[in-house]
């Protein structure tokens, strides 16, 4: 019962993540990568990994370093390790992106860029698994949201292992034939484990607790949540293990993946049902921006699930997979991420700055650190642009997509400015900003005693 | 194979009592190498740190009906002399006076419950105890209490959703963790 202190490097993760998102949106605005070029083009690989690794994975890791301890009421195993971990991620990502660009000759250097990048990234994920794994281990028996996180971490291990294999094969480090087969046919499994297992499943688990916490909804043990957890694990196992078996038998993994995609729909529906229940049972009647803006993100997930069903029925899923992945990545994962970032940055900044003087002197409230009206405007612009972009992708209008990417970039920049203002306490009235004993938080890291 | 002394505190808990003193007494009675098998109506998380500092590892399992069995096994490690946790000072375990203030913070928006508790402790005298009901375990509160040298105890009520925390003002070692 030692309680939970602030995660020291979470803000650095958030900053690196936001920079990656801004970079990706800038590339989309200038027409780099999909949809201007095919999905498997090196430029698209750069874009996808900038979003999935640079933005979403770093965001999720930063958030987990703070919230896994909250989920299991245990201190983080090692509060210093996240910094070297972040350096592995940053270095690995840059090398990986250069390696992709080397594939089509944009980057001329004849260096083992892909294997080096893959190795560093795998090391980064291994350190995350070690740190969070040790923390979770002490916290057994695990509450439901933490079980989702465990499944997510297992998925990232699979996604990273597959990714590492691809970089070794493409970088000519190995020519073992099973590894070459995996590289030739394993891309869908890498995507399912990464986006489905790691990013989506982990976000679902964390959202159970975050939504309940911030909306003051009771955390009931619901059968539907339990079925969502185990059903989701079955779907992931079917897709990943079944897909691997298909590849090693020399068959096309597509039918197994289609069945898994169909089975994922009721799992997502149960999750949606639980979340609607949380919103209905909340005691906090007036929704704060973070909970309000989680709603369009959740709607995007529902929309993506509906699209998958319709496209499977029409046999057109492969053709429009890009639009579905975009909606999942930007509407659901990024939307939810930005909405929760808005609250998390304010909350941890408030706790770091005013925690030591609470009760001793007049202190601002958490909501005094933000200006909700201004942020809401950026969120509306963001979700509007994402939904219109999805339509532009389905309608095959790359030029409209680029224009909308500019709006997306503007909205993200707007939110980024809000986060920095919150961290720097710019919107807090001067008279109460820094009472005696309070310390101005640093932009990129938190002061916290060991643990 | 560790030999275990069994202590069933479920009757005490069901009668609304506080079994901490009985548990510490049982620990004091253990022979070298002997462990304690504790039966309780909830997972006694606060005890883990307390007995951990006295050199006991714990292994808990739910045994049905919401009850828990915890095995405390001597690790052979020397007890940490000055306990890092103010709440863990067993010598004062039985000496807590009745709370002079009770608060129900269950319906407050986070982080208001924490703000209210810290504000209340500032107005209290050393040694006085505050009791508060909360909607969840106040994990961000504990480091603040430790920094201020307050001691605390807490746990979920049998309903499983209300967390009751007792804070004794300025009574701890004052050693921030």
**Which of B105, B111, B155, B175 best tests the A interface by mutation, with the highest count of A CBs <10 A?**
B111
Report residue A74 CA to chain centroid gap. 23
CB contact under 8 A, B85 and A363: no
Q: Give me A199's structure tokens.
A: 């990013």
ipTM of the complex: 0.81
Residues B100 and B53 in one domain: no
- Could you tell me the CA-to-CA distances from A32 to A37, A45, A57 in Å, in that order? 8, 11, 22
Tell me the chain A residues in contact with residue B161 when contact means C-beta distances shorter than 8 Å.
Answer: 218-219
Residues B108 and B48 in one domain: no
pLDDT at site B86: 41
Give the end of a domain, one of B20, B50, B76.
B76
Residues B40 and B104 in one domain: no
Q: Would you write out chain A's pLDDT as a tens digit for each of its 451 residues?
A: 567 889 999 999 999 999 999 999 999 999 998 888 888 889 999 999 999 999 999 999 999 999 999 999 889 999 999 999 999 999 999 999 999 999 888 888 888 999 999 999 999 999 999 999 999 999 889 999 999 999 999 999 999 999 999 999 988 888 888 888 888 889 999 999 999 999 999 999 999 988 888 888 887 788 999 999 999 999 999 999 999 999 989 888 889 998 999 999 999 999 999 999 999 988 888 888 999 999 999 999 999 999 999 998 998 888 898 999 999 999 999 999 999 999 999 999 999 999 889 888 889 999 999 999 999 999 999 999 999 999 999 999 999 999 999 999 999 999 999 999 999 999 999 888 998 888 899 999 888 654 3
| Domain-embedded: residue B84 | no
Report how far residue B153's alpha carbon sits from residue B96's, in angstroms, rounded to the nearest whole number.
10
**Which of A1, A140, A221, A351 best tests the B interface by mutation, with the highest count of B CBs <10 A?**
A1
Residues B55 and B10 in one domain: yes
Report how far residue A184's alpha carbon sits from residue A177's, in angstroms, rounded to the nearest whole number.
10
Summarised one tens digit per residue, pLDDT across range A266-310 is 999 999 999 999 999 888 888 889 999 999 999 999 999 999 999
Residues B30 and B66 in one domain: yes
Residues B70 and B98 in one domain: no
For B138, the closest chain A residue by CA position comes to A3
| Domain-embedded: residue B83 | no
Report how far residue B99's alpha carbon sits from residue B131's, in angstroms, rounded to the nearest whole number.
6
Q: Where are the domains of chain A?
A: 320-442
> Which residue has 């269950």 as its token pair?
B106
Give how far A241 is from chain B: nearest CA, Å. Answer: 32
CB contact under 8 A, A4 and B143: yes
Among B60, B135, B141, whose Cβ lies nearest the Cβ of A3?
A: B141
Report how far residue B20's alpha carbon sits from residue B24's, in angstroms, rounded to the nearest whole number.
6
Among A2, A141, A360, whose Cβ lies nearest the Cβ of B142?
A: A2
CATH number at residue B96: 3.30.110.40
Give the end of a domain, one of B76, B107, B133.
B76
Tell me the chain A residues in contact with residue B147 when contact means C-beta distances shorter than 8 Å.
Answer: 356
Q: Give me A364's structure tokens.
A: 């601002």
For A73, the closest chain B residue by CA position comes to B139
pLDDT at site A276: 93
Of B32 and B166, more confident: B166
For B154, the closest chain A residue by CA position comes to A1
Report how far residue A80's alpha carbon sits from residue A75's, in angstroms, rounded to the nearest whole number.
12
Provide φ and ψ at A49, rounded to 5°.
-75, -30
Tell me the chain B residues in contact with residue A366 when contact means C-beta distances shorter than 8 Å.
Answer: 111
Residues B105 and B37 in one domain: no
Domain count, chain B: 2
- Could you tell me the CA-to-CA distances from A323 to A189, A318, B52 in Å, in that order? 18, 10, 53
Using left for φ > 0, alpha for ψ between -120 and 50, and beta otherwise, residue B61 falls in: beta
Tell me the chain A residues in contact with residue B120 when contact means C-beta distances shorter than 8 Å.
Answer: 359
Report how far residue A297's alpha carbon sits from residue A339's, in angstroms, rounded to the nearest whole number.
9
Report how far residue A78's alpha carbon sits from residue B132's, in angstroms, rounded to the nearest whole number.
31
Report how far residue A11's alpha carbon sits from residue A348's, in angstroms, rounded to the nearest whole number.
9
Do residues A125 and A86 make contact, with C-beta atoms less than 8 angstroms apart? no
Residues B64 and B97 in one domain: no
Beta bridge partners of B61: B69
Q: Which domain holds residue B22?
A: 4-76
| Domain-embedded: residue B96 | yes
Report how far residue A430's alpha carbon sits from residue A427's, in angstroms, rounded to the nearest whole number.
9
Show the CA angle centred on residue A339, arms to residues A341 and A47, nearest 5°. Answer: 80
Beta bridge partners of A170: none
């Amino acid at each position: 019962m030692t309680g939970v202190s602030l995660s020291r490097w979470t803000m650095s993760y958030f900053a690196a993540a936001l920079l990656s998102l801004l970079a990706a949106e800038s590339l989309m605005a200038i027409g780099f990568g999909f949809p201007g070029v095919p999905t498997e083009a090196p430029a698209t690989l750069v874009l996808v990994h900038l979003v999935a690794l640079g933005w979403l994975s770093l965001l999720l890791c930063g958030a987990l370093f703070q919230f896994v301890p909250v989920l299991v009421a245990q201190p983080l195993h090692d509060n210093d390790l996240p910094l070297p971990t972040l350096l592995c991620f940053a270095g690995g990502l840059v090398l990986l992106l250069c390696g992709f660009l080397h594939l089509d000759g944009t980057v001329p250097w004849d260096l083992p860029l892909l294997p080096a990048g893959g190795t560093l990234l795998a090391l980064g994920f291994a350190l995350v698994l070690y740190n969070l794994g040790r923390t979770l281990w002490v916290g057994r028996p695990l509450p439901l949201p933490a079980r989702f996180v465990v499944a997510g971490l297992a998925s990232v291990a699979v996604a990273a292992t597959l990714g590492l294999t691809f970089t070794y094969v493409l970088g000519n480090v190995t020519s073992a034939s099973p590894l070459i087969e995996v590289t030739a046919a394993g891309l869908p499994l890498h995507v399912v484990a990464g986006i489905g297992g790691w990013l989506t499943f982990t976000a679902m688990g964390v959202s159970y607790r975050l939504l309940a916490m911030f909306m003051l909804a009771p955390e009931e043990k619901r059968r539907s949540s339990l079925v969502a957890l185990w059903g989701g694990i079955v779907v992931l196992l079917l897709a990943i293990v079944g897909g691997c078996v298909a590849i090693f038998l020399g068959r096309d993994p597509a039918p197994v993946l289609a069945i898994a995609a169909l089975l994922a729909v009721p799992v997502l529906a149960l999750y949606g049902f639980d979340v609607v229940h949380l919103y209905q049972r909340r005691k906090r009647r007036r929704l704060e921006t973070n909970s309000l803006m989680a709603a369009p993100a959740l709607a995007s997930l529902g929309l993506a699930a509906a699209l998958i069903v319709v496209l499977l029925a029409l046999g057109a899923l492969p053709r429009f997979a890009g639009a579905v992945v975009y909606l999942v990545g930007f509407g659901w994962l990024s939307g939810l991420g930005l909405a929760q970032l808005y609250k998390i940055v304010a909350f941890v900044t408030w706790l770091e700055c005013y925690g030591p003087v609470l009760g001793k002197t007049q202190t601002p409230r958490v909501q005094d650190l933000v200006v909700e009206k201004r942020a809401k405007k950026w969120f509306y612009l963001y979700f509007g642009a994402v939904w219109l972009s999805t339509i532009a992708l389905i309608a095959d209008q790359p030029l409209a997509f680029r224009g909308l990417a500019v709006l997306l970039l503007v909205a993200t920049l707007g939110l980024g400015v809000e986060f920095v203002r919150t961290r720097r306490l710019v919107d807090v009235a001067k008279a109460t900003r820094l009472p005696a004993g309070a310390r101005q938080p640093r932009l990129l890291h938190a002061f916290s005693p060991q643990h | 194979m560790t030999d275990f002394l069994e202590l069933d505190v479920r009757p005490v808990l069901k009668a609304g009592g506080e079994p901490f003193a009985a548990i510490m007494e049982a620990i004091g009675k253990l022979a070298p190498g002997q462990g304690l098998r504790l039966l309780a109506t909830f997972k006694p998380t606060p005890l883990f740190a307390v007995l951990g500092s006295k050199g006991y590892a714990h292994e808990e399992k739910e045994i049905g009906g919401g009850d828990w069995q915890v095995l405390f096994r001597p690790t052979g490690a020397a007890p940490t002399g000055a306990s890092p946790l103010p709440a863990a000072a067993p010598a004062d375990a039985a000496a807590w006076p009745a709370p002079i203030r009770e608060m129900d913070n269950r319906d407050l928006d986070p982080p208001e419950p924490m703000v209210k508790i810290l504000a209340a402790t500032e107005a209290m005298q050393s040694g006085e105890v505050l009791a508060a009901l909360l909607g969840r375990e106040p994990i961000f509160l504990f480091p603040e209490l430790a920094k201020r040298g307050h001691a605390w105890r807490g746990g979920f009520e049998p309903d499983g959703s209300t967390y009751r925390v007792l804070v004794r003002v300025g009574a701890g070692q004052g050693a921030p963790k």
